[in-house]
Copies of this chain bind each other. A is one copy, B any other.
Amino acid sequence: MTERSPLAPSAFPDLPPIPGVTVRVACARYKNWDRCDLTYVELAEGTAVAGVTTQSKCPSPEVEWCRDAIPLGSARALVVNAGNANAFTGHRGRAAVEAIAARVANHLACNPSDIFISSTGVIGVPLPIDKAEAGLESAFAAPACGWEDAALTIGTTDTYPKGAHVSAMVSGRRVELVGIVKGSGMIAPDMATMLGYVFTNAAVEPALLQQMLSAANRQTFSCITVDSDTSTSDTVLAFATGKAGNVPLASMDDAGADAFQAALTDLCRQLAHLVVRDGEGASKFIEITVEGAESDASAHRIALSIANSPLVKTAIAGEDANWGRVVMAVGKAGEPADRDRLSIRFGATQVATGGLAVEGYDEAPVAAHLKGQDIRIGVDLGLGNGRATVWTCDLTHGYISINADYRS
């Protein structure tokens, strides 16, 4: 990993083991490097699964595999390859996915469709089957490891491992949810995580788990953007082993379902923020809230237009209270907006209202806010009740340095 992001948390959190989940890592050497790059997670029989994947029209074969397997609802293992995305590799890429599924299914004596697979890294190079198979053999024989090792092993250009933990009370039982995630570039909505995995010991029926994960995703991973680029491999999977012994949740009307949904959304938001905080080259974490739009969807699109604007992102990098660029980004979103009703805040300071700079505008508190690491931009369109919040980071020399020579 390269130099740790200045926005990284001080340490990887203490995450509890999840009963029914065993994590192992191995070195498949997908790239010429000296680190583990294959993560193998064994899941107890009866584990339910749900997932959301990239909206890309050119997804990887791993994404296609997961899309086919998710509706079947059951999982026994997860394999994550780092260093090679295996995307745009035609039938050879597909063959690698099938070989991995077959090998693990044979090891666990289960159906190949119970095996979930992700790969992340360079596009266009078929995943070498021999390396994958050798890596799996060594993972099968490896001792179980902790979450931090797994979070490190799924990473690529990440500068720190990312994990989070929440708990909830479901029918009198405390259930735990742990998540790990990777991603720092090629991050944009329509599944913005690159790769994220949630593990819980709660018992949840697959259909409900899917409904809950989709709902959580809409408010979290789909609200982050680093560079407006959408990966071919973005995947978030949730696994519920049922070992907590709660009465299985089957409907949102069940006792504890609301609490579980809230905990899952909270976990996904924490994980999504960790991705933004590792945005390539990021020096500022930016929260953009748009209110007063004609609808929530309209507010979301305007917020993303601001979050994806290179001129807004470079202004924040330069700690420049250039709110004119926010006006520009509102204007280009193509959504209903009325220049003369628009208000803009930086931090707690109103800088413009009713279509012009506030009378006697004092830039000092705004300049002070922009010197911090956590920046808040607020826009009120003054049209309706639509509201949305998205998160992004600034655009710096670091992004250029990382991406102008990533592959070589």
A residues whose Cβ falls under 8 Å from a Cβ of B:
54-59, 85, 87-93, 122-126, 185-186, 188, 190, 227-232, 308-311, 314-315, 317-318, 320, 322-325, 327-340, 342, 352, 354-357, 395-397, 399-401, 403-408
Q: How far is the CB of A375 from chain B (nearest CB, A)?
A: 14
Contacts of A397 in B (CB 8 A): 397, 400-401
Tell me if B320 and A229 are in contact (CB < 8 A).
no
A335 to B56 alpha-carbon distance, docked (Å): 10
Chain B residues whose CB sits within 8 angstroms of the CB of A407 once the complex forms: 315, 320, 322
Give the chain B neighbours of A314 by CB distance below 8 A: 399-400, 403-404
A126 to B333, CA, bound (A): 24
- Most B Cβ at <10 Å: residue of A92, A125, A186, A340: A186
Does B124 lie within 8 Å of A323, measured CB to CB?
yes
* A230 to B122 CA separation, bound complex (whole angstroms): 32
The answer on a CB contact under 8 Å between A56 and B328 is: yes
Chain B residues within an 8 Å CB radius of A90: 340, 354-356
Which chain B residue lies CB-closest to A56? B331
Once A320-B404, A403-B315 are accepted as A-B contacts, the answer to whether A356 and B308 lie under 8 Å apart by CB is no
Q: Contact at A310–B229, with CB atoms within 8 Å? A: yes
A329 surroundings in chain B (CB, below 8 A): 229
Q: Which residue of B lies closest to A408 (CB)?
A: B320
Q: Are A400 and B317 in contact (CB under 8 A)?
A: yes
Can you report 13 residue pairs joining A to B where beta carbons are below 8 Å apart? A58-B331, A58-B337, A90-B340, A185-B311, A229-B311, A230-B328, A230-B332, A232-B331, A314-B399, A314-B400, A317-B404, A320-B407, A320-B408
Contact at A57–B334, with CB atoms within 8 Å? yes
State A160–B38 Cα separation when bound (angstroms).
52
Known A90-B354, A124-B352, A185-B311: A327·B404 in contact at CB below 8 Å: no
Q: A366 CB to closest chain B CB, in angstroms? A: 13
- Contacting pair B89 A404 (CB below 8 A): no
Q: Smallest distance from the beta carbon of A332 to chain B beta carbons, Å? A: 4
CB atoms of A230 and B331 under 8 A apart? yes
Q: How far is the CB of A105 from chain B (nearest CB, A)?
A: 26
Query: How many angstroms between the C-alpha atoms of A337 and B232 in the bound complex?
Result: 13
A87, B327: Cβ atoms closer than 8 Å: yes
> Cα distance A315–B351 when bound, in Å?
37
Give which listed residue, B232, B332, B356, contacts A327 with CB less than 8 A.
B232
Given known A232-B327, A320-B404, A342-B58, contact A356–B311 (CB-CB < 8 A):
no
Chain B hits for A323, CB < 8 A: 123-124
For the complex, give the distance between the alpha carbons of A125 and B322 in Å.
11
Chain B residue nearest to A281 (CB atoms) is B400
CA distance A59 to B126 in the complex (A): 49
Distance (Å) between the CB of A65 and the closest chain B CB?
14
Which of B56, B122, B339, B403 interacts with A88 by CB under 8 Å?
A: B339
Contacts of A55 in B (CB 8 A): 332, 334
In the complex formed, the residue of B with least CB distance to A57 is B337
A3 nearest CB across to chain B (Å): 17
Q: Which residue of chain B lies nearest to A394 when distances are taken between CB atoms in the complex?
A: B404
| Cα distance, A350 to B54, chains bound together (Å) | 27
Knowing A318-B404, A396-B404, A403-B311 are in contact, say whether A332-B188 is a contact too (CB < 8 A).
Answer: yes
Contact A403 B337, CB 8 Å, known A122-B324, A124-B352, A228-B308: no
